[in-house]
Every structure is written in C-alpha cells, then in structure tokens.
Structure 1
Amino acid sequence: MLEQCSNQSEYAFYMRGVIARIEGDLEDALSWFNKALKISANATTYLVNIGRVYFLMGNHKLAVEYLEKAVKANPNDSKAYYWLARAIYHLDTDLFNPCEKARDLLLQAPALQTSVELIIFLAKLVAELGDTTAAIQAYERALQVVKVPYF
C-alpha cells in the first residue's frame, strides 16, 4: 500500500524504515529511508537514519558520507554528531587516527555539554587515547546532565 502512496507519505516511508531497522531488516530500512529522502532531500533525520543503517551494516565509509551531509545540513543535530563519530571511530584507515578524529568531532558538537550520549562516547574515546583525567571529567559531566546522585 505504501508503494502506491503519493509524495504526501514521506512520514509513512520514514516510519516504515524505523520499523524495518528495529526488526533488523536493514536493507528494507535503507530502501524506506531513501524513499523519504527523495521526497524531502534536506531532511537531516533521513540522512542520519541512512547513515545509521550503513553503520549497522558495517559500511562505515558510506555511513560517514551520509552523516557528514547531515551535520552540514543541521550542525545542531546531536544524533548526527554521535553516529558520525561512531562511524569515523570504526573506519579502517592508516590516513589518520580514527579515535582522535572521532574525539575531535565530538569536541566540536554544539550539544556536547547537554547530550549524555555524546559525553559518554567522548569519555570512552579519551580513555582509549590514554587521558584518564579527561575521561573521568566526562563521566562526571554525564552524571550531572542526567542528575544522578554520586554514591
């Protein structure tokens, strides 16, 4: 039925993509998100979801491509930064240190101080890079953001 819908079904395509992704049907999810993107080419939500699906499929290079477009289109989208940093981190390259590049990207994210996802991933990256003090500070910041009392 969705295939027969007109251009008014952008949200239906998106939701079908979300359902397919949750069900683990990544190829189908990719197809639905691409249909939604064709209708609304500037919608960063679709770019982020396409990048996320490519990430989940293990195609980190294509994930980076779509997620970079999402960050350029909406520099305030914390999910775009999160998934882009994850995709960069998993790139297999000798051209640069993926862990450092992912860290540097997160440090540029406007929502870094308010997004627990971003802060925790940053903590993981700086810990891996050997900066234990920065990792502890990041984890403490994450606790402040979610307002969890110290034990």
Structure 2
Amino acid sequence: MAQDDRPLVLVLNGPNLNLLGTREPEVYGADTLDDIAELMEDHARVLGLRIDLRQSNHEGHLIDWLHEAQARGCKAVILNPGGFTHTSVALHDAVKGIVTPVIEVHLSNPHAREAFRHKSFVSPVARGTIAGFGAKGYMLALDAAAAI
C-alpha cells in the first residue's frame, strides 16, 4: 500500500463530545461525532489533507495528543476542548508549548451561554477560534488548517 503523503491534521475532542447527537441536541445539534468524522474525512480529502480524529474525557490524553501532534509534524490541530475550555490551565500550557498551530472549535457559541462559559483558557494561545456554527465549524477549521 502506498504511503499517504497528504499533510495530517489531528482533530481532538474533549469531554462529553462522545455524547453528541443525544446530549442537548438543541445546543449541540443532532450530528454524532461519527457523523462529524465522516464529513471531515470527505472535506479533508477535497482539501488535500488527512485527519486523525480522537476523543477523550481525560485531560491528560488531550495534552499527550497535543505533544504528539508536534512530534509527528502535524500541519495543525483542531481542538474542541469541551468543558476543559473554561477550566484547564494545563491545556492552555500544552497549546502554548507546541509550535503546531491549534484551531479551537466549539459547536455552540460559548458567549451566548452561561457566564462561566465566556472565558476560554485555550483562545489566548490558539491560532484562532471558530464557534457557534455546529458541525460546520469543523469544516471551517479544516479550511483554516489548509490555509496555514
């Protein structure tokens, strides 16, 4: 089998995103993470990219994967930190500590929700943030990754 030389984008999803499609669909939409992965695979192929999509409910996994992205020479990381957005100095430090560009993604618009969701520890160290466009936000993030 031939080696796939397309640039790699690591797509990391944080806590509770494994529940997409059933958890508060009025906020997060009806798409499951598998649905989003399928859409992203198709869009990545069009853009000449390949993706590696992962999800974890554990902060340390996300940090290890951010470090791995740099070690593997990934073109970019698309990160939906979920609830860790508003709590994790450790994720902030991991994003800040790597040279791989990180694009923060949120299905909903955190600024249109509860006040505690208005602060992101990731945004100040991310290349950019896309929020409020549902599953389409991941495709916008792939477009941004391709343009980097």
**TM-score using structure 2 length:** 0.27
Structure with the higher fraction of residues in strand conformation: 2
Tell which has more relative contact order, 1 or 2 (C-alpha 8 A, sep 6+): 2
Bigger Rg over Cα: 1
Structure with the higher fraction of residues in helix conformation: 1
